[in-house]
Amino acid sequence: MARKLWRMADRLHDRQKTYSIGLYCNGNEGAVSLATARQTRDAAKALLAQDPPVDPSIDKQFERHLDAAERPFGMWIDEWLTEKKTEKIKRGRIVTVRSPETIALLER
């Protein structure tokens, strides 16, 4: 299934680039509204207007990496273990684990 995204096309150093702002808002959680997409677009255009211009997609990746670096490793591993306790892949699909033996094995 194809996802609908808010996107912005621009040119940086004479090359065509497409900047993805976020998921199109249709009532789903985690989606970006039109107002937020416009604010993000304006911020991206301001970055491109600087001298020297800054690529908004690189700036977005940098922010994501900074957010990830602030979380301690313990939080990452706890989330990963919680996910592994409740889900597993069976024949290419993620299914819920209902066996207490499997959960006990993952807790070791």
Residues 30 and 57 in one domain: yes
Q: Quote the pLDDT of residue 54.
A: 85
For the chain, report the end-to-end CA distance as a whole number of angstroms: 38
Residues 49 and 24 in one domain: yes
Q: Quote the pLDDT of residue 21.
A: 87
Residue type at position 56: P
The range of the structural domain enclosing residue 85 comes to: 73-107
Counting the structural domains of the chain, the total is 2
Instruction: Report CA 5 to chain centroid distance, whole Å.
Output: 12
Q: Can you tell me the distance from the alpha carbon of 16 to that of 12, in angstroms, rounded to the nearest whole number?
A: 7
Q: Can you tell me the distance from the alpha carbon of 52 to that of 42, in angstroms, rounded to the nearest whole number?
A: 17
Give, for all 108 residues of the chain, the pLDDT tens digit.
567 888 888 888 888 888 888 888 766 677 888 888 899 999 999 988 888 888 888 888 888 888 888 888 888 877 777 776 666 666 667 666 556 666 666 666
Residues 30 and 79 in one domain: no
Residues 63 and 79 in one domain: no
Residues 57 and 9 in one domain: yes
Residues 22 and 59 in one domain: yes
Residues 77 and 29 in one domain: no
Residues 53 and 96 in one domain: no
Q: Quote the pLDDT of residue 38.
A: 92
Q: Quote the pLDDT of residue 74.
A: 82
Q: Quote the pLDDT of residue 24.
A: 86
Residues 55 and 103 in one domain: no
Residues 9 and 34 in one domain: yes
Q: Quote the pLDDT of residue 84.
A: 67
**19 CB-near residues (< 8 Å, 6+ apart):** 7, 8, 9, 10, 44, 56, 57, 60
